[in-house]
Structure 1
Amino acid sequence: MSIHTRLTLWYTGILAAILLLFSLALYSLLSQVLYEQVDDAIRSRAGEIGSYIQTQADPMRLLITRQVQIPPVDVFSTSNTFVQIVDRQGNVVARSANLGDNYLPIRRESFDQNLAGNAVLYTLSTPQARLRIYSAPLVIFDPLEGETIIGVVQVGMSLHDVEATLLTARYAIGLGVAFTLLLAAGVGAFMAHAALRPIDHITQTALQISRAEDLSRRLPAVRTQDELARLTDTFNEMLGRLEELFQQQQRLVADVSHELRTPLTTLRGNLDLLRRGMERLPPEDLQDILQTMEGEITRMSRLVADLLLLSQADAGVQIKKEVVELDAVLLDVYRQALLMADGVRVELGHEDRALVLGDRDRLHQLLLNLVDNAIKYTPAGGTVRLSLYRREDWVQVSVADTGVGIAKEDLPHIFERFYRSDRARSRQTGGTGLGLSIAKWIAEAHGGHLTVESELGVGSTFTLWLRPYVPRAGTAESRAI
């Protein structure tokens, strides 16, 4: 079921519930008002009869005859109002002509209530119609006995007109609700279609972009400041991110292909040379060829290992966490750097003792990548200095060199995969272009970060920032510090 249909059904359903409640309330109120009007009318008519009898009663005649003059009840009746007077014994002494040969039924319980001085209202069903009857005691003033109940007056009114009016109201309300719901469904469908039209446009545009494989296209901006505008902006932002990721993927494939093509070409050429004249080659040339091939294979293996590590990073693989003496790791890297120096002076500067929580092997790899990078881009006679400072909130490890430096326009990109400002020079140094990307990932996986400061012709300083590990009092680490 489409959103368009669901919105229409929800809108119509809610409106139907509201109209139903309103109609029930309106019908109940109308019914109550009509029945109260009937009750008031027959109660008022009974009161008029009682008042007439009281005013017409002659005290002297009552003393002599002990009889009361009954008025002509037809004066108080109408076409649908019936009057009947009953004495204390339950005998009908007067009734309106419109009753014909019929009598208003006398209910025993109601009659007893009247003789006790109470008025009673009740509804009675007859073969002809339903009647609403008001039964009240007739009271006069007896000179000898005071106020005396001499009988009962019954006033009945047919409910035919009321029920006909309520039936008409039911039909009118039902038809009104049905017509309103049909109209609301049509209006709701139109409004839902109008509201969802921009979303359909977004869907069609997205489909066109998908079919054309053109991630550079964008949805037109929406002028309104509403949910559709936010949806459009979010979708365009997503397209921009997808375009960036797609371009990175293309660069990655191109860079990997380029990095693998050079060693493979070298291997193919050396193998062809060996195949054509291995017996005639001097031992020195043969050894050079084999060393070249071994170096290219090692470089390809290192490239594959780096790519595998970065794929694990992209997959969110968690590093192991343990207490690491970072100063000891730095000392190991310094000793290893002395063997890699190749004419570059490697110095160990300021070194505080510091503990961090992390993976010792990964931290060693990070620092070795930075040192290796510094040595490769520092000419012979230059200096690479390693330092470690224990600050209050941070542990700071810096690798500073006096090498060629990095141009300002290249600084924002040096941590991107395969980004190298001088590709030819990078290939000569044997790098894969992934070292700094790996170093950045390791730093962030430890809750830290890498910063760099550089100036062309002066040198560069890479700084690793990590949170220190503070051991609890009484532990072995706290006693060792």
Structure 2
Amino acid sequence: MKLRFMLPSIKIRIALLYSLIFSVILIVLNASVLYGLKYYLIYQSFADISNQAETILNKLSVVKGDIDFSNENLVFSIPENTYLKVIDKNGKVVYKSRETEDINIPYKSDINIPVKIEKDGMHLTYINEIYNRDGKIFYIQIIKNMESQYLFLKLLFVLMAFADAVGILISLIAGYFVTRQAIKPVDYMVKEVNDIDARKLNKRLKVYGNKDEFTRLAVTFNSMLDRLEDSFRRQNTFISDASHELRTPLSIIKGYVDILDRWGKYDKNVLQEGIEALKKEEAEMEKLIERLLLIARGDSRNLKLNKETFILNDILNEVIKETSMLNRDRNIVLNMDDEIDIFADKSLIKELLRILLDNAVKYTETDGKIEVICKREGQNTVIKVKDDGIGIPSDEIPYIFDRFYRVDKARTKETGGAGLGLSIAKIIVEAHKGSIIVDSKIHKGTEFTIIFPF
């Protein structure tokens, strides 16, 4: 059985993180102050005993071979927490400032060097000096007990520890409330987003004037909702239109099947007519489904391109020849540069050209002129398909690439197609990182310009 640990909320985690950072900084600063003060007091003690030793050396005098300790200034100049020892060269203590104190520290080492030691639970600093006059040698030892300084450091440590604890507690509480206030917009976003579903895609997050990270997040989320809503709308329209387009051939197929089932199978003429009609509708449905699949792949950015380098002139000649044979009452003219090579998907480029030419033929009257131009312009390959047909109203140009859209609403499926051609054309062009431009005037014709990067 696996145990699951619930993480605290982000407000608590941020507050804990801030409190931890504040605690570390506070502890490091306080420790630095304590250690700095400790070593300052030690060095101050070194300075005191060094000055004390120098003063005593200047005040000492030898009378009849012994040190004269009758000088009152010698005794009064020694502070209460400082001890003086005078030792002769044989190791005999000839003078002690306090009889009750018996601190044994080596006196022949570390001459004229202040030293800090821990001895018998006491914090001591001492310095050894040599008195050498008139052949007389004595060792002078000054010892200072730092008990009061260390007591002050302990008291300061307790106060700082208490202040740290209070500071950490305050930082934790303040951090929680500040964090809660700071991420309040997130709570609002969570509440609003939970209310959004497929039926409420028109709902948007409120964006306030402050240009902070949460505002940018709200703007980005609203932008995503715009794209999602548009995608759902286009999907619903696509499904509705596709269902409508498929319903017609299915109705025809169902009608012929019913006729053949009842009595047509006994009449050879009716049987042959029904078979040909079924084949035709099957081919139309297959073509429609293939185009729908191509559009679906384009929408999902899953359209695979089998790119290769080929001569565009050959493809143009082939497509124009096919279109001219099927539409001998149209005058199709080709103007192109010599040997224009292009790196693209040959089958898709051929489909693109067929769509544009078929579209031009449908909207050009008998004996009308269709001109195809192919040339290089700088680093681009440009293909233009111009006709002198009925043209496209300016207010309808933005919609001609929508699926199942027909400019001439009076055209039937047989004369006007399913309305998918230009949608597929745009998908093919954009898949090749190109662009498509439309220029049209009523009763003067239409010009489609395709631009492919070289």
* Fold shared by both chains (TM-score > 0.5): yes
Cα 1:19–1:149 change in 2 (3 A) is: farther
Which residue number corresponds to residue 94 of structure 2?
A: 93
Query: Residue type of the partner of 1:449?
Result: S
Q: Helix, strand or coil: the match of 2:225?
A: helix
2:176 is equivalent to residue 179 of structure 1: no
Cα 1:402–1:133 change in 2 (3 A) is: same
Residue segments in structure 2 that go unaligned for 5+ positions in a row: 1-6
Which residue number corresponds to residue 254 of structure 1?
A: 240
Q: Is the 8 A contact 2:403 2:420 kept in 1?
A: yes
How many Å apart are 1:128 and its aligned residue?
6.6
How many Å apart are 1:457 and its aligned residue?
1.9
Cα 1:296–1:454 change in 2 (3 A) is: same
Q: 1:53 aligns with which of 29, 44, 60?
A: 60
Which residue number corresponds to residue 444 of structure 1?
A: 430
2:414 is equivalent to residue 415 of structure 1: no
**Cα distance in structure 1, aligned partners of 2:375 and 2:50:** 103
How many Å apart are 1:218 and its aligned residue?
0.8
Q: Is the 8 A contact 1:399 1:461 kept in 2?
A: yes
Cα 1:464–1:352 change in 2 (3 A) is: farther
Query: Residue type of the partner of 1:178?
Result: A
How many Å apart are 1:124 and its aligned residue?
4.7
How many Å apart are 1:197 and its aligned residue?
0.9
Kindly report which structure 2 residues correspond to 1:34-433, keeping only aligned pairs within 5 A, or say none.
34-54=41-61, 65-71=64-70, 74-97=75-98, 99-100=99-100, 102-107=101-106, 110-111=107-108, 118-127=111-120, 129-140=122-133, 142=134, 150-210=137-197, 213-278=199-264, 283=269, 287-313=272-298, 314-341=300-327, 343-350=329-336, 352-429=338-415, 431-433=417-419
Q: Is the 8 A contact 2:386 2:445 kept in 1?
A: yes
**Cα distance in structure 2, aligned partners of 1:431 and 1:221:** 45
Query: Residue type of the partner of 1:396?
Result: V
Q: Is the 8 A contact 2:294 2:303 kept in 1?
A: no
**Cα distance in structure 1, aligned partners of 2:60 and 2:25:** 53
Matched positions, count: 444
How many Å apart are 1:74 and its aligned residue?
4.0
**Cα distance in structure 1, aligned partners of 2:364 and 2:275:** 29
Query: Residue type of the partner of 1:91?
Result: K
1:1-43 Cα shifts (integer Å, max 9, x gaps): 3332332222122212211221121011110122223223333
Cα 1:44–1:277 change in 2 (3 A) is: same
Q: Helix, strand or coil: the match of 2:170?
A: helix
Aligned-residue sequence identity (percent) comes to 29
**Cα distance in structure 2, aligned partners of 1:444 and 1:248:** 18
Q: Is the 8 A contact 1:137 1:149 kept in 2?
A: no
Cα 1:424–1:255 change in 2 (3 A) is: farther
Q: Is the 8 A contact 1:420 1:426 kept in 2?
A: no
Q: Helix, strand or coil: the match of 1:111?
A: coil
Query: Residue type of the partner of 1:86?
Result: I
**Cα distance in structure 1, aligned partners of 2:122 and 2:437:** 98
Residue segments in structure 1 that go unaligned for 5+ positions in a row: 143-147, 469-481
Which residue number corresponds to residue 28 of structure 1?
A: 35
1:390-419 Cα shifts (integer Å, max 9, x gaps): 334333222222222111122122222222
Q: Helix, strand or coil: the match of 2:114?
A: strand
Query: Residue type of the partner of 1:255?
Result: D
How many Å apart are 1:78 and its aligned residue?
4.3
Q: Helix, strand or coil: the match of 1:224?
A: coil
Q: 1:17 aligns with which of 24, 27, 31?
A: 24
Bigger CA drift: 221-230 or 31-40? 31-40
Cα 1:86–1:165 change in 2 (3 A) is: same
Q: Is the 8 A contact 2:42 2:116 kept in 1?
A: no
**Cα distance in structure 1, aligned partners of 2:363 and 2:385:** 13
Q: Is the 8 A contact 1:222 1:228 kept in 2?
A: no
**Cα distance in structure 1, aligned partners of 2:50 and 2:377:** 98
Cα 1:291–1:380 change in 2 (3 A) is: farther
Q: Helix, strand or coil: the match of 1:339?
A: helix
Q: Is the 8 A contact 1:352 1:390 kept in 2?
A: no
Q: Helix, strand or coil: the match of 1:425?
A: coil
**Cα distance in structure 2, aligned partners of 1:457 and 1:290:** 41
**Cα distance in structure 2, aligned partners of 1:453 and 1:264:** 37
Bigger CA drift: 420-429 or 158-167? 420-429
Q: Is the 8 A contact 1:122 1:134 kept in 2?
A: yes
Query: Residue type of the partner of 1:394?
Result: N
Q: Helix, strand or coil: the match of 1:215?
A: coil
Query: Residue type of the partner of 2:34?
Result: Y
CA RMSD of aligned residues (A): 2.5
Q: Helix, strand or coil: the match of 1:450?
A: strand
**Cα distance in structure 1, aligned partners of 2:335 and 2:102:** 124
Q: Helix, strand or coil: the match of 1:120?
A: coil
Q: Is the 8 A contact 1:137 1:152 kept in 2?
A: yes
Rg comparison, structure with higher value = 1
Cα 1:282–1:430 change in 2 (3 A) is: farther
Query: Residue type of the partner of 2:314?
Result: A
Cα 1:437–1:128 change in 2 (3 A) is: closer
Query: Residue type of the partner of 2:319?
Result: V
**Cα distance in structure 1, aligned partners of 2:254 and 2:378:** 56
How many Å apart are 1:436 and its aligned residue?
1.3
Q: Is the 8 A contact 1:324 1:359 kept in 2?
A: no
* TM-score (ref. length: structure 1): 0.85
Query: Residue type of the partner of 1:6?
Result: R
Query: Residue type of the partner of 2:33?
Result: L
**Cα distance in structure 2, aligned partners of 1:265 and 1:279:** 19
Q: Is the 8 A contact 2:83 2:144 kept in 1?
A: yes
**Cα distance in structure 1, aligned partners of 2:94 and 2:336:** 128
How many Å apart are 1:280 and its aligned residue?
8.0
